[in-house]
Amino acid sequence: MKEKKQVITPELHDRAVQKIAELMFTFPGQEFTPGVFHPSWVTFTNAPERKMPVKHRWMGDLYPDIVIADTEACNRPMVICEVATEDELAYEEGIQAKYKPDMDECSIFHLYVPEGSACAAADLILDYRYAIPTALYTYGFDEKGEIRVTPV
C-alpha cells in the first residue's frame, strides 16, 4: 500500500516542531520515563527561532529542532529530535550532514519524518547505517490543523 504524502512547508515544519515538543516532550512532574523523574530536564525548540545550541566538538554550535537539556549539567543534551522535511530526505548527503553530528553529541536521537516518508527514511537509515535514530515517527496534520504523530 502506497503511503499518503503531505507537503510540509517551512511554516508547517516550524509548527510541527512546536506541536511535537508539546505533545511528546512535556513531562508531568518531570517524569521522562515511567517512574524516573528528571526535574532539571527542560525541553527547548529551535524553530522558528534558535534558543538552545548543542556544542559539537569540531562543528561548533548545532541547532537541532528539539533539545531536551539537563539544566543542572550545563545544558547537556539528553535527547535530540529532528523534524525532517521531504527535501531533507531527498538526498543521502543531507541526512548524513544534518543528523550524524547530532548523534555525535547525544545518544538519544528521535527522528520525525512527514507522513508518506517512513519507508524512504527507513531505507536510507538501513542502507547507509548512519544516524540510526533511537525512535522513528511520522507526522502530519489533519484537516483541522491538529498534528498526528505515529511511531514507525
CATH number of the structural domain spanning residue 127: 3.40.1350
Antiparallel, parallel or unpaired: β 109-114 and 76-83: parallel
In tens, the pLDDT along 12-55 reads 999 999 999 999 987 766 777 777 788 888 999 999 999 999 98
Q: Do the domain assignments include residue 2?
A: no
| 23-46 b/e (C-beta count within 10 Å ≥ 16 → b) | ebbebeeeeeeeeeebeebbbbbb
Task: Give the integer Cα–Cα distance in Å for 95 and 100.
Answer: 7
Q: Do the domain assignments include residue 112?
A: yes
Which residues of the chain fall below pLDDT 70? 1-5, 28-29, 91-97, 128-131
- Residue 80 has a pLDDT of 93
Task: Give the integer Cα–Cα distance in Å for 133 and 137.
Answer: 10
What is the residue range of 141's domain?
10-26+39-151
